């Protein structure tokens, strides 16, 4: 036992020694990737601090002096319509992600742990669904929702995003890996019904996977533009993405509201960052370790 | 604890949403309501929805709603541009379009072709005289029908840096010939500075310049369309700009880009042939140059002429599917011809009105052009000589062909006339595919 431990240690030690120069390349690549992803965010942050006069006349990466004015102006724009849009976005993203997570978790659990006729057919259909981009479906969905009289309603944006094939796929994979069959068997022997098994045994084990799905869906709906753009006619139901776009394409008659758009874009990513930071702690993958002895 | 805080934030946001939803309902004023006839009171007021992107339109509509309790209009502010046209067409196809829609002149024919807008001939018979013949043609397409009420227009003018013209000793060009000479002169005086630029991303600007030269891209005779995008005036305009770009006398950066903004701010770009709405763009994109710009009529193709073209402008159209066509037409008429309404349009929505009388009534110059007190008089004079043409049912295709063709022409240095021919071919092919009859 001691031999293996020391063996491991020495391997780890030598690996680190040899790994140093080799590790520099992946680190550099990751750094480049991080810069590539973060630079636009930094740009938005910096641009949001510039007053309209500074926006196109000062250096790209130098902070401006107008952040608070921009924020005040944005909140005053059309009697605070920004808050209405922010509330709508929260409703679409929060409600949609919650419902979608619930549907995905239950379906994924059922697909992973039960054998029934047509299971593989359903699963293959879902895999096929992953391959169809949501963008392609937006207009057919709009025509369908118009037919049943739901276009231009909150449901028009919420419903299409609840069933998300990729999330179900993810939930199935996660359920298969995280819920040991023997645990379910033990539950059955102890006399638990299927509903109790799912709600008390399976779902708690799936929480990390559900958090992942929730975050994915939340971000996807938060950033979704095309579906609400097509579905909604009433600007009181717009989410932030579509709402801010009306500021951008407001015709050429009045001065463009670049500073408001940038500030709005910046403020609208703050909740996403906050969400990721607070939800991170749920990302513990080995919840089930120790459940089965 | 954290979860609680999140929950509280969620609750606050949701209440805010609900509260603002409630306040978004059109306010009914009881005083006004009592004055309305008993018959309409029984049915309740007619409710109209109106898609527009003009700023502050809700404030203007509020004035109408207070004066007309029996016709209540709700504004839904949309994003403008080509996307707005596509969205309206989709909504019309799905059967739930708004009752009223802001329609850019170039998109109106596609609405007509899709049977999405109503003929307002009877409702607008009395207001025809309020608009110039050129603008009226844009909403009739030269037919007997009337598909919208003109709202704003964008006659083109030449905007130039007066201070730098003085510095380099250049006179304001009266003809395009002089404009070309001035472009070369500027390059000699300062190689870092250009007189102007040709944008391959803005088909609207090129269309306006072609209109000035007398182009007639589309026309209808009976049931068939005639397409003449590669007509002689258009080729003349294309060749002229192509030659200037090729010899390096003017730049080839597109408008409305950060580098363009920077060039305007830094005084590296001395002119912009643009429309009457340019002060709005300049004041936001080149705030540093306030008070340094001036305006003149577009250079002419022949000395002594005074022609211009249109870049932009829109009308108010009534959806073909609305159950309240008469009420919608009344509102559209009021909005674009009533003096009080036009006054609001100018002040609140910052448009250049289409109605002729209102154009000459404009007083104080835009703030950015405070050094040019006769700004609106100049605009009205230019507007009188502006000529448009009938737009076709697939302007989107034509405009995309413009961008593709001229991008390539700039990149490869091929003649601009080829790009024009490409626009013609793409447009005709698309119209044939959609089932239009093309007269040759």
Percentage, residues of chain A above pLDDT 70: 87
Residues B275 and B415 in one domain: yes
- C-alpha span between A277 and B13 (Å, rounded): 20
The four Cα atoms B380, B381, B383, B387 give a dihedral, to 10 degrees, of 170
3-class secondary structure, B427: helix
List the beta bridge partners of residue B51.
B76, B101
Closest Cα of chain A to B95: distance in Å?
A: 7
Identity of the residue in A151, A248, A253 whose CB atom sits nearest the CB atom of B280: A253
List pLDDT tens digits, range B158-190.
999 999 999 999 999 999 999 999 999 999 999
| Residue A87 to residue B16, Cβ atoms within 8 A | yes
| Residue B20 to residue A248, Cβ atoms within 8 A | no
Tokens encoding B343: 């006054």
Classify the phi-psi angles of B312: left when phi > 0, otherwise alpha if psi is within -120 to 50, otherwise beta: left
Within 8 A of B199 by CB-CB distance, chain A residues are: none
Tokens encoding A121: 């057919």
**What 8-state DSSP symbol labels residue A201?**
I
A6-15, A27-36, A81-90, A102-111, range with the lowest pLDDT: A6-15
Residues B87 and B214 in one domain: no
Nearest to B281 by CA among B266, B265, B270, B297: B265
Within 8 A of A250 by CB-CB distance, chain B residues are: 53-55, 79-80
3-class secondary structure, B155: strand
Give yes or no for a contact between B133 and B340, defined as CB atoms under 8 angstroms apart. Answer: no
Classify the phi-psi angles of A42: left when phi > 0, otherwise alpha if psi is within -120 to 50, otherwise beta: alpha
Does the residue B23 lie in any domain? no
Tokens encoding B353: 């009105």
CB burial string A150-183: b at 16+ within 10 A, e below: ebbeeebbbbbbbebbbbbbbbbebbeebbeeeb
List pLDDT tens digits, range A168-206.
999 999 999 989 999 999 999 999 999 999 999 999 999
Give yes or no for a contact between B62 and A79, defined as CB atoms under 8 angstroms apart. Answer: no
- Of B320, B345, B360, the last residue of a domain is B360
Give yes or no for a contact between B57 and B77, defined as CB atoms under 8 angstroms apart. Answer: yes
Does the residue B10 lie in any domain? no
Give yes or no for a contact between B368 and B293, defined as CB atoms under 8 angstroms apart. Answer: yes
Does the residue B7 lie in any domain? no
The four Cα atoms A166, A168, A169, A172 give a dihedral, to 10 degrees, of 160
What is the predicted pLDDT for the residue at A284?
A: 60
- C-alpha span between A74 and A86 (Å, rounded): 12
Helices then strands (H, E): number in chain A?
15, 0
3-class secondary structure, B148: coil
What is the predicted pLDDT for the residue at A272?
A: 92
- C-alpha span between A91 and A97 (Å, rounded): 9
Helices then strands (H, E): number in chain B?
19, 10
Give yes or no for a contact between B419 and B340, defined as CB atoms under 8 angstroms apart. Answer: no
Closest Cα of chain A to B191: distance in Å?
A: 21
Tokens encoding A98: 């919650």
B284 to chain A: closest CA residue: A255
Residue B293 Cα distances to A127, A146, A259, B183, B269, angstroms? 60, 50, 23, 17, 11
Q: How many domains does chain B have?
A: 2
| Residue A242 to residue B55, Cβ atoms within 8 A | no
Cβ-count burial of B144 within 10 angstroms (0-12 exposed, 13-18 middle, 19+ buried)?
exposed
A254 to chain B: closest CA residue: B280
Tokens encoding A44: 């938005």
What crossing angle do the helices spanning A165-178 and A96-113 adopt, rounded to 10°?
A: 50
3-class secondary structure, B149: strand
Backbone angles phi, psi at B293, to 5 degrees: -95, 155
Closest Cα of chain A to B367: distance in Å?
A: 11
Identity of the residue in A86, A229, A251 whose CB atom sits nearest the CB atom of B53: A251
Identity of the residue in A56, A248, A255 whose CB atom sits nearest the CB atom of B261: A56
List the beta bridge partners of residue B296.
B158
Residue A236 Cα distances to A25, A80, B111, angstroms? 50, 11, 25
Give yes or no for a contact between B316 and B60, defined as CB atoms under 8 angstroms apart. Answer: no
Residues B270 and B356 in one domain: no
- C-alpha span between A58 and A64 (Å, rounded): 8
B306 CB neighbour count, 10 Å cutoff: 12
| Residue B79 to residue A245, Cβ atoms within 8 A | yes
**Which string of DSSP letters, residue by residue, matches B290-332?**
TT-EEEEEPPBSSTT---B-EEEEEEEEEBTT-S-HHHHHHHH
A162-166, A245-249, B4-8, B284-288, range with the lowest pLDDT: B4-8
| Residue A236 to residue B24, Cβ atoms within 8 A | yes
Backbone angles phi, psi at A118, to 5 degrees: 85, 5
What is the predicted pLDDT for the residue at A20?
A: 57
List pLDDT tens digits, range A23-33.
889 999 999 99
Nearest to A184 by CA among A212, A208, A203, A207: A203
Give yes or no for a contact between B306 and B155, defined as CB atoms under 8 angstroms apart. Answer: no
Does the residue B9 lie in any domain? no
Residues B168 and B138 in one domain: no
- The residue with tokens 């000035």 is B212
B288 to chain A: closest CA residue: A53
Residues B286 and B419 in one domain: yes
B78 to chain A: closest CA residue: A246
Residue A204 Cα distances to A106, A111, A193, A209, B137, angstroms? 12, 17, 16, 10, 69
- C-alpha span between B45 and B43 (Å, rounded): 7
Residues B269 and B144 in one domain: no
A86 to chain B: closest CA residue: B13
Tokens encoding B376: 């609106």
Strands annotated E in B184-303: 218-221, 224-227, 271-275, 293-297
Residues B54 and B89 in one domain: yes
Residues B238 and B210 in one domain: yes
Residues B379 and B291 in one domain: yes
Within 8 A of A154 by CB-CB distance, chain B residues are: none
Identity of the residue in A146, A249, A253 whose CB atom sits nearest the CB atom of B96: A146
What is the predicted pLDDT for the residue at B27?
A: 37
- Of B326, B360, B394, the last residue of a domain is B360
| Residue B287 to residue A88, Cβ atoms within 8 A | no
Residue A81's pLDDT band, with cuts at 50, 70 and 90, is: very high
Residues B226 and B269 in one domain: yes
Residue-range domains of chain A with CATH: 20-65 (no CATH), 78-282 (1.10.3720.10)
Domain membership of residue B279 as a residue range: 156-309+366-438
What is the predicted pLDDT for the residue at B24?
A: 35
- The residue with tokens 């309305």 is B36
Residue B81 Cα distances to A196, B85, B299, angstroms? 55, 7, 28
Q: Can you give the C-alpha Rg of chain B in angstroms?
A: 24
Does the residue B272 lie in any domain? yes
What is the predicted pLDDT for the residue at A133?
A: 86
B276 CB neighbour count, 10 Å cutoff: 33
Does the residue B103 lie in any domain? yes
**What 8-state DSSP symbol labels residue B256?**
T
| Residue A142 to residue B90, Cβ atoms within 8 A | yes
What is the predicted pLDDT for the residue at B425?
A: 96
**What 8-state DSSP symbol labels residue A118?**
T
B285 to chain A: closest CA residue: A56
Backbone angles phi, psi at B199, to 5 degrees: -100, 125
What is the predicted pLDDT for the residue at A281?
A: 75
A81 to chain B: closest CA residue: B20
Does the residue B31 lie in any domain? no
Residues B186 and B254 in one domain: yes
Does the residue B3 lie in any domain? no
3-class secondary structure, B121: coil
| Residue A229 to residue B87, Cβ atoms within 8 A | yes
For the segment A57-72, the average pLDDT, to the nearest whole number, is: 88
Tell me the CATH number at B204. Answer: 3.40.190.10
Q: Can you give the C-alpha Rg of chain A in angstroms?
A: 25
Residues B419 and B321 in one domain: no
For B102, the enclosing helix (H) or strand (E) is: strand B100-104
B13 to chain A: closest CA residue: A87
Spans of chain B, pLDDT less than 50: 1-42
| Residue A254 to residue B55, Cβ atoms within 8 A | yes
Identity of the residue in A152, A251, A256 whose CB atom sits nearest the CB atom of B96: A152
What is the predicted pLDDT for the residue at B13?
A: 40
For the segment A101-107, the average pLDDT, to the nearest whole number, is: 96
For the segment A249-254, the average pLDDT, to the nearest whole number, is: 68
B417 CB neighbour count, 10 Å cutoff: 16
How big is the A-B interface in CB pairs under 8 Å?
A: 132
- C-alpha span between B317 and B335 (Å, rounded): 12
Backbone angles phi, psi at B377, to 5 degrees: -65, -45
Q: Which residue, among A142, A251, A277, would best test binding to B if mutated, counting the most B CBs under 10 Å from its CB? A: A251
> Quick one: chain B helix, strand, coil %, rounded to 5?
50, 15, 35
Q: What angle do CA B17, A46, B262 make, to 5 degrees?
A: 115
Identity of the residue in B87, B95, B286 whose CB atom sits nearest the CB atom of A146: B95
Within 8 A of A87 by CB-CB distance, chain B residues are: 13-14, 16-17, 20
């Amino acid at each position: 036992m001691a031999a293996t431990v020391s063996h491991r240690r020495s391997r780890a030690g030598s690996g680190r020694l040899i790994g140093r120069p080799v590790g520099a390349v992946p680190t550099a690549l990751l750094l480049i990737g991080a810069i590539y992803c973060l630079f636009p965010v930094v740009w938005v942050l910096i641009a949001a601090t510039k007053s309209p006069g500074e926006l196109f006349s000062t250096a790209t990466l130098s902070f401006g002096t107008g952040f608070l004015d921009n924020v005040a102006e944005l909140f005053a724009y059309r009697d605070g319509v920004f808050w209405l849009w922010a509330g709508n976005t929260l409703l679409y993203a929060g409600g949609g992600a919650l419902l979608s997570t619930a549907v995905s978790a239950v379906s994924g659990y059922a697909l992973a742990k039960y054998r029934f006729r047509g299971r593989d057919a359903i699963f293959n259909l879902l895999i096929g669904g992953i391959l169809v981009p949501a963008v392609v479906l937006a207009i057919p969905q709009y025509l369908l929702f118009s037919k049943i009289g739901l276009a231009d309603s909150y449901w028009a944006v919420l419903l299409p995003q609840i069933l998300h094939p990729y999330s179900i796929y993810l939930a199935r994979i996660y359920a298969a890996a995280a819920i040991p069959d023997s645990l379910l068997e033990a539950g059955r022997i102890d006399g638990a019904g299927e509903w109790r098994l799912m709600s008390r045994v399976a779902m708690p084990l799936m929480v990390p996977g559900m958090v992942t799905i929730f975050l994915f869906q939340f971000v996807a709906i938060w950033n979704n533009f095309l579906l609400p753009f097509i579905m909604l006619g009433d600007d009181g139901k717009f989410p932030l993405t579509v709402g801010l776009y009306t500021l951008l394409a407001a015709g050429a008659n009045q001065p463009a509201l670049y500073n408001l758009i940038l500030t709005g874009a910046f403020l609208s990513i703050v909740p996403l960052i906050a969400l990721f930071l607070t939800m991170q702690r749920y990302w513990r993958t080995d919840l089930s370790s120790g459940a089965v002895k | 604890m954290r979860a609680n805080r999140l929950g509280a934030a969620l609750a606050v946001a949701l209440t805010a949403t609900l509260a603002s939803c409630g306040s978004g309902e059109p306010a009914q004023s009881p005083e006004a309501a009592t004055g309305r006839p008993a018959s309409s009171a029984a049915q309740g007021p007619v409710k109209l929805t109106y898609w527009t992107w003009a700023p502050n339109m809700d404030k203007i509509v509020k004035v109408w709603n207070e004066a007309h309790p029996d016709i209540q209009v709700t504004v839904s502010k949309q994003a403008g541009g080509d996307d707005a046209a596509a969205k309206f067409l989709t909504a019309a196809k799905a059967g739930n379009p708004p009752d009223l829609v802001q329609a850019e002149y170039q998109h109106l024919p596609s609405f007509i072709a899709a049977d999405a807008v109503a003929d307002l001939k009877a409702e607008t018979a009395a207001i025809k005289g309020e608009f110039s013949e050129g603008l009226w043609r844009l909403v009739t397409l030269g037919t007997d029908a009337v598909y919208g009420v003109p709202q704003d227009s964008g006659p083109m003018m030449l905007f130039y840096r007066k201070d730098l013209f003085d510095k380099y000793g250049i006179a304001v060009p009266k003809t395009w010939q002089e404009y070309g000479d001035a472009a070369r002169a500027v390059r000699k005086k300062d190689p870092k500075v250009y007189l102007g630029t040709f944008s391959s991303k803005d088909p609207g600007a090129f269309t306006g310049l072609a209109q000035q030269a007398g182009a007639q891209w589309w026309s209808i005779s009976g049931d068939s369309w005639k397409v003449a995008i590669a007509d002689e005036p258009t080729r003349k305009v294309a060749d002229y700009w192509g030659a200037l770009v090729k010899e390096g006398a003017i730049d080839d950066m597109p408008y409305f880009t950060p580098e363009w903004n920077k060039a305007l701010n830094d005084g590296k770009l001395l002119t912009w042939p643009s429309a009457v709405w340019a002060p709005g763009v300049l004041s936001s994109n080149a705030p540093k140059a306030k008070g340094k710009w001036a305006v003149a009529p577009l250079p002419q193709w022949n000395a002594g002429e005074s022609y211009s073209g249109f870049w932009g402008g829109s009308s108010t159209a009534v959806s073909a599917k609305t159950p309240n066509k008469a009420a919608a037409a009344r509102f559209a008429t009021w909005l674009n011809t009533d003096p009080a309404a036009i006054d609001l349009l100018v002040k609140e929505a910052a448009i250049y009105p289409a109605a002729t009388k209102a154009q000459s009534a404009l007083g104080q110059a835009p703030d950015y052009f405070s050094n040019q007190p006769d700004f609106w008089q100049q605009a009205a004079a230019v507007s009188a000589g502006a000529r448009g043409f009938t737009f076709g049912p697939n302007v989107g295709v034509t405009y995309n062909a413009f961008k593709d063709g001229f991008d390539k022409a700039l990149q490869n240095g091929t003649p601009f006339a080829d790009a024009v021919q490409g626009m013609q071919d793409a447009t005709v092919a698309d119209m044939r595919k959609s089932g239009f009859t093309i007269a040759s």
